[in-house]
Amino acid sequence: MSGWKVIKILELWTDDMRLLLRIFPLALILLGATLLVERPAYAYADPGTGLLAIQALGSALVAAGWYLRRKIYAIFHRGQAPKQEAQEVSVTEDSKGSSLQ
């Protein structure tokens, strides 16, 4: 691909992202408003139902943390030089420490 095509694709991608970032907050507000309006259920909710909801919420939080772990790490370690652990391994030694012949 030529450089101009790549730039054009990136411009289209950023335009799509801008549109998405305009629509997403509105969608969240509408979803929240829908969830706030109560209607009578006329049904029995088992005590385990609440626990299942709590477990689903906890799982979603852990999954989000796992997915964003590098960004979370970068937030807490901003401004620090990255540690480079140089492991000095001799070319003439194998993993057991015996010298290669």
pLDDT of residue 92: 54
Residue 18 belongs to a domain: yes
pLDDT of residue 19: 80
Residue 97 belongs to a domain: no
Confidence of residue 93 (pLDDT cuts 50, 70, 90): low
Beta-bridge partners for 99: 93
96 compared with 74, residue with greater pLDDT: 74
Residue 101 belongs to a domain: no
Residue 53 belongs to a domain: yes
Residue 27 belongs to a domain: yes
pLDDT of residue 71: 86
31 compared with 93, residue with greater pLDDT: 31
Residue 61 belongs to a domain: yes
Question: pLDDT digit string (tens) for 65-84?
Answer: 999 988 888 888 877 766 66
Residue 28 belongs to a domain: yes
* Residue 54 structural domain: 3-74
Six token digits for residue 97:
């420490």
Number of domains, the chain:
1
Asked if 61 and 68 touch (Cβ cutoff 8 Å), the reply is no
Residue 51 belongs to a domain: yes
Q: What gap in Å lies between CA 37 and CA 40, rounded to an integer?
A: 10
Question: pLDDT digit string (tens) for 7-65?
Answer: 666 666 677 777 878 888 899 999 988 888 878 878 887 878 888 989 999 999 999 99
**Alpha helices of the chain — where are they, by DSSP H?**
3-36, 47-67, 69-76
* Nearest C-alpha neighbor of 76 from the set 87, 85, 86, 65: 65
